[in-house]
Chains A and B, each alone.
Chain A
Amino acid sequence: MSFSVTEATTRQKWMAGTLVILYAVISLIPLVWILMTGLKTPPDSISYPPKVMFEPSLEGYVNLFTTRTRVSKETLESLPPPANFAEEIVRNRDMVIAGPSKFGQRFMNSVIIGFGSTFLSVFLGTLAAYAFSRFRIPLADDLLFFILSTRMMPPIAVAIPIFLMYRNIGLSDTHLGMILLYTAVNISLAVWLLKGFIDEIPREYEEAALIDGYTRFQAFYKVVLPQAATGIASTAIFCLIFAWNEYAFAVLLTSGTAQTAPPFIPTIIGVGGLDWPAVAAGATLFLIPVMIFTIMLRKHLLRGITFGAVRK
């Protein structure tokens, strides 16, 4: 393949653009499908051939957030007119809203556990990575290898011991237990990723700060941290994505209080038939926090802000 160090030709730009768009479309089709299914009615969602054009409905979202009971025609007619659009949708299916579903609560569990473990992983990871990067630590290489080795097996391989340990010490189905577990899994990634970033920050900055009258910790906080923002942001995104999407441990270790959204969403299927729109609605809402988080941290992901101030 030929390449040029000069400006790409118009044709090359067109080809590159086409390829990128093609790739984007292919990757986005499943997401679009989920988004669409969430807005379909249950019959539309299972119709064959699949409907691309359909009349959008919020039934999936209503079903996601409510529990419903079927009632007889007579009872339905004796009820006062529906108070809101949700009731109207439900009554069209000969049902009434019995109460809220547990989705909101499970979603909050995901938020608490996901962000909690992300914060803890990044916080501890940054401190550990800084120490590994800057101080002479006995057996530093072995320790780093040990930290990495915790990721060499799939975490689920130790599911049974963890399950038994958690049951014994009362961490089963608790927020703290899940936060600690996800932190333990993520911390090796955090330390390794962040060490790479901190290694790249020249020591001169901290040394200058030390001489300018700051303590080691103040220098870390005022000089290293702002420059490690890129690394911290990307590490946080990786940690959040893992903790947010984790399914196997969540199924195993949580059932009620601390159950996260991933094990909860599939249980919707079991309640009153294959309610694909509700599942898709849950999946859509579930995507949003990670999306917002990534977009918020996007500007830190752009490298280059720290380049050029130390002469190499």
Chain B
Amino acid sequence: MAEVVLSSVSKSFGSTIALEDVSLTVPDGAFVVLLGPTGAGKTTMLRLISGLERLDAGDIHIGGRKVNTETPAQRDVAMVFQQYSLYPHLTVRQNLEFPLRSPILNTAEDEIKRKVNEVADILQIPHKLDNKATELSGGEMQRVSIGRALVRDPSIYLMDEPLSSLDAKLRTDLRVELKRIQANLGATFLYVTHDQIEAMTMATHVGVLNEGKLVQFGTPREIYENPNSIYVASRLGLPRINILPSEIFSSSAAGAVTTGMRPEHIRQGSGASAEVVRVEHLGDQTRLHLTLQGHEITTLAEPGRSYERGSEIKIEPKDPLYFDENGNRIFGRSI
């Protein structure tokens, strides 16, 4: 396990800038989650660290060693691709053994057997070990793909949305399992996901990427509670943060153009009156869709209270987040 440091890393493909001057430290034993929409540069970052792509500028250090010119094999990283890429001509067992049999690891036979069985148990696939890789379902393939990383003990595990193709139950199981493995081994993870629950529950650190730039890096709580822009604020939170013009409300911060309100920033019972457009019962929560002077707001119902479609409720912001005209956060109390 090792610390991974990116210093002023840039990468472009033709005229498309994938990453621009990104500096990021993945501390030893940390679980860093990268957030950002498609095209933000998350996958490129993983591929640069793994050595599948060459840097245009900057340096990458793994465990204090500069790896800019090293091959993927020399860097000792494990990677799970978004598109699970099992070797189709091999069985599940041979797929899992593949990295252990590489000339670099060259593991002893009994050790290979032990590790493969152990990982197969974790991933709930021991009965599939002798199947051809192509005979598996999508979810099983992805588990084998994760397994091929887990049999190793690399400097860092790079995972590109590894759980996105799994069904909800398996996803929860594996999320817990990955976190347990990470905690037990003290392994370093760099993990790309779109899933808020994965980000919030697994991460020790969250990095938010926007158009090739790292716009915020911190603990999941920091990112959630103290986003430095509308962009970062919209990455986390279900329902999403509501962004409204500040002039709607009587109180605002100096220079604030927009006010961002998560459900917990909306106090019901006093303030401006909004119309209930739709009530969604999700089981563990009930979502309210409101309109306030033509702006849509999504918030959560207060427990024990009933709402009628078309009725009016009063809402007002409570310690909301303020943003300037560029969408950057204004840190200041409401006036």
Binding site for B on A (CB under 8 A): 202, 204-205, 207-216, 218, 223, 226-227, 305-312
Q: List 25 A-B contacts (CB under 8 A).
A: A205-B85, A205-B87, A208-B87, A208-B148, A209-B98, A210-B71, A210-B73, A211-B77, A211-B79, A212-B148, A215-B103, A216-B71, A226-B89, A227-B88, A305-B89, A306-B88, A306-B89, A307-B88, A307-B134, A308-B88, A309-B84, A309-B133, A309-B134, A311-B84, A312-B83
B83 in complex: contacting residue of A218, A306, A311, CB < 8 Å: A311
A215–B51 alpha-carbon span in the complex (Å): 12
**In the docked arrangement, what's the CA distance between A210 and B76, Å?**
10
Q: For this complex, into which size category does the number of interface residues on chain B fall?
A: 20 to 34
**Cβ-defined contact, B52 with A207, below 8 A:** yes
B50 within 8 A of A: yes
Cross-chain contact of B89 among A209, A210, A227, A308 (Cβ < 8 A):
A227
Closest to B75 in A: A211
Q: Which 8 pairs from chain A and chain B are nearest by CB?
A: A213-B102, A204-B85, A212-B99, A213-B104, A309-B88, A210-B72, A226-B89, A213-B73
Judged by a CB distance under 8 angstroms, whether B105 is at the interface is: yes
Tell me the total A-B contact number using a CB cutoff of 8 A.
86
Q: Do A208 and B81 have beta carbons less than 8 Å apart?
A: yes
Name the contact of B85 in the complex, choosing from A215, A307, A310 (C-beta under 8 A).
A310
Q: Which residues of B contact A (CB under 8 A)?
A: 50-52, 71-73, 76-79, 81, 83-89, 98-99, 102-105, 133-134, 138, 141, 148, 165
- Determine the main DSSP class of B at the interface with A: loop
Q: Give the distance in Å from the alpha carbon of A211 to the alpha carbon of B79 in the complex.
A: 7
Q: CB < 8 Å: which of A210, A226, A309 contacts B86?
A: A309
Min distance, Cβ A223 to any Cβ of chain B, angstroms: 6
Question: Is the beta-carbon distance between A207 and B102 smaller than 8 angstroms?
Answer: no
Other contacts beyond A208-B81, A209-B98, A309-B88: 10, CB < 8 A: A205-B85, A211-B51, A212-B148, A213-B104, A218-B102, A226-B89, A306-B88, A308-B88, A309-B85, A311-B141
A311 interface neighbour in B73, B79, B102, B165, Cβ under 8 Å: B165
CB distance from B2 to the nearest CB of A (A): 16
Q: What chain A residues lie within 8 Å of B77 (beta carbons)?
A: 211
Contact of A213 among B81, B85, B105 (CB under 8 A): B105
Q: Is the CB of B73 within 8 A of A204?
A: no
B83 surroundings in chain A (CB, below 8 A): 202, 204, 310-312
**Nearest chain A CB to B59 CB, angstrom units:** 20
Within 8 Å CB of A310, what residues of B? 83-85
Instruction: Report the minimum CB–CB distance from B185 to chain A (whole Å).
Output: 19
Q: Which residue of B lies closest to A225 (CB)?
A: B89
Complex Cα distance A227/B134, Å? 13
Q: Is the CB of B134 within 8 A of A308?
A: yes
CB-defined contacts of B71 to chain A, threshold 8 Å: 210, 215-216
Taking CB atoms, residues of chain B closer than 8 Å to A202 are 83, 85
